[in-house]
Amino acid sequence: MHIPDGFLATPVWATLDVTAAPVVGYLARRAQRGLEQSKVPLLGVMGAFVFAAQMINFPVGMGTSGHLVGAALLAYTLGPAAAGVVLTAILAVQALVFQDGGILALGANVINMAIVGMLAGYLPYSLWGAGRWRRQAIFLGGFLSLLTSAVLALSELLLSGVAMPAAVLRISLGLFVISAVLEGAITLAIIQALASINPDFLRQPRSDGARTLGWIGVAAIFLAVAGVAIASAYPDGIQKLADATGISSQAKTLLRTPLADYQLGTMHSVWVRKAGAGLAGLSLIYGALLLGGKLLARKRGA
């Protein structure tokens, strides 16, 4: 599910990078506020735990086994903000050190797993985690977190024009559902084990901002499903959609105008625009990060 570089179309990865950057910045500040500064090692070691947890296989029968992915588990034990930070750190280390998942695609992977997938996993827990349906809520959380991440990744690939015949699409959706059931069951098994070791490991479900975030997660699930539906209806992906709505021609003029001022427009090749879009995306991320950081630093200083 870690999308490598080279799969996503430039508008897709650039948009997701620009979206992910401020959200991660927000989560980092929220986590930092919620836990004392001292808890930095805790988040890091929990990240290492998720890496290591993936070595322990759960027997599923018929000679196969599965392993934990961990977004929902982290959300229940560290809270959603800290879980988002840990998962982002995991994805960054995987992309850098293990070449698992791309660098330009990091924003996409962070949105899919660390943000939307994690929040989708947290939602049932925040709604029903304290009551009679606690076990079911925990299972459902694990299930939803994995399914959401997978469907989002799939829709991004389809939007980028990666060819996928209907049969392959159906098979992969089936596989996603199986892995999601497994993730739910593993998450539940671990949570029950943790509750018997020390109930303090689990965070009581909170109904404040986290629940709002959870609903955003659900909205994202619907968007993702809609994305898959649309993308499979238009196999050529975003290009057709963009042409139909006229977005792409507008985007082209937008991108061409500033470049023309610097005499680069005379080269008239497609890649200048494409590379320009990529660079613009990156500068946007960079700008958003710096601006967000500065604004918050000023707010805190005031």
Q: Which residues contact 219 (CB under 8 A, 6 or more apart)?
A: none
Q: Taking phi first (over 0 means left), then psi (-120 to 50 degrees means alpha), and beta for anything else, what does residue 161 get?
A: left
Rounded Cα distance, 238 and 243, in Å: 8
Count the residues of the shown chain that bind other proteins, applying the rule CB under 8 A.
88
**Sites for other proteins among residues 250-279 (CB under 8 A):** 267, 269-271, 274-275, 277-279
In whole angstroms, what is the distance from residue 59 CA to residue 39 CA?
A: 34
The residue among 47, 93, 66 whose CA lies nearest residue 176 is 66
Name the residue among 83, 106, 111, 224 with its Cα closest to residue 158.
224
Q: Which amino acid is at 105?
A: A
* 32 vs 232, beta carbon nearer other proteins: 32
d(CA 255, CA 239): 17
Shortest Å, Cβ 61 to other proteins? 4
Indicate whether 282 belongs to the interface with other proteins (CB under 8 A): yes
Give the range of 41-49, 120-128, 206-214, 215-223 binding other proteins by CB under 8 A: 41-49
> Of the two residues 43 and 147, which places its CB atom closer to other proteins in the complex?
43
| Least Cβ distance, residue 69 to other proteins (angstroms) | 12
The H-assigned helical ranges of the chain are: 10-34, 40-53, 71-78, 80-97, 106-109, 118-128, 134-159, 166-197, 209-233, 238-245, 247-261, 270-301
Give the x-and-dash track for 96-115 against other proteins (CB under 8 A).
xxxxx-xxx-----------
Considering only residues 79 to 98 of the shown chain, the ones binding other proteins according to CB under 8 A are 85-86, 88-90, 92-93, 95-98
Residues 181-210 that bind other proteins (CB under 8 A): 185-186, 189-190, 192-194, 196-198, 201
Q: Which of residues 50-69 bind other proteins (CB under 8 A)?
A: 51-53, 55-63, 65, 68
For other proteins, the closer CB: 98 or 215: 98
Q: How far apart are CA 19 and CA 230, in angstroms?
A: 21
CB 152 within 8 A of CB 111: yes
222 or 271: CB nearest other proteins? 271
In the complex, minimum distance from the CB of residue 51 to other proteins, in angstroms, rounded to a whole number: 6
Q: Judged by CB under 8 A, which of 164, 181, 259, 284 binds other proteins?
A: 164
d(Cα 161, Cα 293) in Å, to the nearest integer? 35
Q: Which residues contact 64 (CB under 8 A, 6 or more apart)?
A: none
Exactly one of 16, 18, 20, 24 binds other proteins (CB under 8 A); that residue is 24
Nearer to other proteins, 86 or 119 (CB): 86
CB 137 within 8 A of CB 121: no
Name the DSSP class of 37.
G
40 is a contact residue toward other proteins (CB under 8 A): yes
Joined together, the tokens standing for residue 79 give 């809270």
Give the nearer residue to other proteins in terms of CB position, either 65 or 204. Answer: 65
User: Which listed residue (20, 31, 144, 154) binds other proteins by CB under 8 A?
Assistant: 31
Residue 160 in contact with other proteins, rule: CB under 8 A: no
Task: Provide the mask over 218-247, with x wherever binding to other proteins is found by CB under 8 A and - wherever it is not.
Answer: ------------------------------
> Is the Cβ of residue 163 or residue 226 nearer to other proteins in the bound state?
163
